[in-house]
Chains A and B, each alone.
Chain A
């Protein structure tokens, strides 16, 4: 199904906790699990781990910064570090739904999607800050000229600004307020943001250099997976309908 369905349905059921994870059964007089690693606790632990792993790219940049180990061209190291983190996190976020479709046992991955998406936006902000501060020296006129004149900056800025409303509406409260259908429609903007991000990458490399090819292929597969799945579902229900008839 389409993105956000699990969350949207959960909201409709007025019980946002019932994702595909079992809650421990508690009988009368029982302590809640004691020291056992319950599914709930495992999930919380995993969330902490993923959170820390997502912070690693920034952590490494900061650490290397203090060590004076950002390489001969540190501004480029920072730009590449934040840019790749943004793109890769976007791609990982987009991979969750196809993975859940393929393996229903991994449905709980949905619980990580918001964190990953927000981290993608976080690194996008750092990447933008690198441009605003280190490349433009906070000169507004330079930046306005750049956005209108340089297509790679225009498309990069577009990719970032499309993530902005998604970050703002990432809470359960937003899903409730917008309703599942509208929320899902809005968050489809992530497809355009990711495409803009990859185009931004193509438009900055030198002619003849093909380094963006890998992530382009990965993104293409993940985007194609969605209509492919919808088609498959449509065929299955058509087959079921014709069986009944």
Chain B
């Protein structure tokens, strides 16, 4: 054993070229490390789905049943009691698309928010870029949503829409929405890891967001009927959930009310890129602190 100079461990570390552990990694190195773990992200997401299916036979079915039952309740309240089904053409397809598309974002964000706080054991046992966890959750939700989108397509056809080539537009819509949702999921993964109360408050924020996003009504009509300023319509229609829902309806449905202007696509791209980059940087900045008790 060499003699230990206890007065200056830091100087000794410098002399032998040792570096402090657990320091904030550089962004570029972090992204590279994350890319090297891409197989882990994919396997982790797939394993969690397989585990869920193994644990309950209805597991996968609930992914579809849940939005369907929600849609049933909304149909009763908004369609029948508040009379939206008379104002909107093909109201069932309109409502189902809104509910399923919104559910994709809200489920992804909820899953992402629990990705660090729900995997503390893993964070404290193995070394890997922590962004693996929210990304695995996002991929998991994407795979599950794939199943429910097939159900949505069948239901939309059953309620009277004919499939056209325009349906292919749903793919870029889902990809852009995935990027947006991943960005927000990263933000809430960090917030929930740092302040646990956020997990309690998030479902309410998502519910309010849903009611503001025209899932069960047409935003422009609603604002007009309540003597709202047109600027309110623009603001509500420009919110990311409304943008992706409108584009999905535009892809799946063929009514005058669901046609969307082209600038909706520019908004959809901006809402995909800015939150993803911002959310990733926000998450990365706390990398060295995840796992603290």
Do A and B come together as binding partners?
Answer: no
Q: Which B residues are closer than 8 A to A by beta carbons?
A: none
